[in-house]
């Protein structure tokens, strides 16, 4: 479900924007932590290092940040 649609009943565009920004920041922070753990774990086990890991973990935190902005 689109978050904006779920929050559509809010009367304040400023509040909606603030909520969406905070949610995106929190998500990207958690995504970065998980991404780091996955890369650290898999890079030693998969041939090709980081390039090999990207086969299984294709999105980077930078790409996710752009998608959420």
Q: What is the pLDDT of residues 5-59, one digit of tens each?
A: 788 788 888 988 899 899 999 999 999 999 999 888 887 777 777 778 888 888 8
Between 25 and 2, where is the model more confident? 25
Cβ within 8 Å of residue 68, ≥6 positions away: 24, 27, 28
pLDDT attached to residue 30: 96
The pTM of the full predicted model, rounded to 2 decimals, is 0.75
pLDDT attached to residue 39: 87
Does 64 score more than 90 pLDDT? yes
Indicate the domain borders of the chain.
20-68
Phi, psi angles (nearest 5°) of residue 57? -125, 80
Cβ atoms 27, 37 nearer than 8 A: no
Burial of 68 (0-12, 13-18, 19+ CB in 10 A): middle
pLDDT attached to residue 3: 78
For residue 11, give the DSSP letter. S
């Amino acid at each position: 479900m689109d978050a904006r649609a779920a929050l559509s009943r809010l009367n304040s565009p400023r509040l909606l924007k603030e909520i969406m920004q905070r949610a995106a920041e929190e998500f990207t922070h958690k995504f970065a932590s998980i991404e780091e753990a996955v890369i650290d774990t898999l890079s030693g086990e998969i041939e090709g290092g980081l390039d090999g890991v990207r086969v299984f973990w294709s999105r980077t935190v930078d790409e996710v940040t752009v998608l959420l902005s």
